[in-house]
Structures are given as C-alpha cells and as structure tokens.
Structure 1
C-alpha cells in the first residue's frame, strides 16, 4: 500500500509492504497485501492470500486463496467483487478466481509459500475454481 503525507508543503510517498509482492495487470500494479486485507473483511473468509496467474491479454491476473470460517461457503467471484468495490477497492484489483483451501502451504520456516500456491493452480483440474 502507498500512503502520502504532506510536510511543509511537500508531499512524501511511502510504500508499505513488500515491493515484490505485486501483480502487474496490464501495467497497473496490484499490491497483494492490500487486496488480502480487503478480502479478509468478507464475513465468510477467515484469511486470504493473493497470487498472480497468467493472463493472455493483461499479462497477469489475480487469484485469491481463502480459508473459510467454520460453517460458511465461499462467495462467487461476482459476489466477492461487489463486496470489495463496496468496501472501496478499485475494480481492477479484484481477484478473478477464488480457490478454497483448508490451510495455506508453508515453507520450512513457516512462511506462506506463494510459489507453491501458484503451482496448485495448474495441478488439479477439479479445483474449486469459481469463475
């Protein structure tokens, strides 16, 4: 996320989060951390992680992996998009695919393994794709 601050009439910009954890969608940069925070506000979703996936036209598009709260069902892509836009997220930043997992894959040191999540998108043709 980027924040702006004015000090003595000069505007300073600060980038928060990881610079490499972005999706380049047709030249527009999508900060994964920002979208993950918005998606996590959805009542049925306990946690969310955003990853890029290839797109023929834009280069990359967003896919969100979600862990659901007990007793809830995953929203449809359109339903989630409507919620996110209503919360103030720009429409081009909304994920175009939702994958439901029980837990996120982690590395040997316990960090979320986003490369493994990207690989999961191409492994299981019976995945929970909700496009």
Structure 2
C-alpha cells in the first residue's frame, strides 16, 4: 500500500504525464488549488478523468512544467505536507513561471483522496499575462 509521502512523491515525479499522475487519485479523489479562483480559474477537479484534463491543460500552456526541490515538512502515513518549486517557460508570453507550491495530501487505501495546493497567485498572473501594447 502507498502511504501519503510515496503518493505525493509519485505525483510530483509523474506530473509531465497527465494520465500517470491522475491515476494516483481515488475515483472520488480531488485536486484542489483554491487560490486560482482569484485568477478566474476553476482550481478544482474531482476524479481521475477530470484531474487528467486539468493537468493536460496546464502542460499545454507550460510544456516544461516539472516540480523540483521537494521538501517534506510534515509526514504521517495518511497525510503529508510539502513545499515544491517550478521554474518553466510559458511559451505564449515568453516569461518564466517561478512558483513555490505548498501541498497537503491525504491518502486513503493507497490512493490520493485529496491534494490541496497553495501558490502565489501574483507570480502566476505575471507569468501568464500577455505583455501590454504600448
């Protein structure tokens, strides 16, 4: 059985493969980035199919998206809290997306029940915003 740390590690390592990453979630599992609402983005996907679509849409915008510098801060068999970073080019804007995520994962029966991530929405908005015409 996979514990929370193993599941989060597997998710972070497989993020560039939307199908593999989403397969780690329970049938009713949730990926939630609640702060994206401030950017007008629905930051919640439930179930492997919806989560696969969410990740695939991110990879379409940031093809080199990959997590790095993972630091586990709190760990139990059922829950883990970690920080991890991304630094990747956003081709549509030509800007680098630099982000620190904080994620809390809840595991149930060897699958991800909930992964809730927090991020800096200002950094996200700046990286994805098109330059203004002068």
The TM-score normalised by the length of structure 1 is 0.28
More relative contact order, 1 or 2 (CA 8 Å, 6+ apart): 2
Larger Rg: 1
The TM-score normalised by the length of structure 2 is 0.27
Q: Which has the higher helix share?
A: 2
Q: Which has the higher strand share?
A: 2
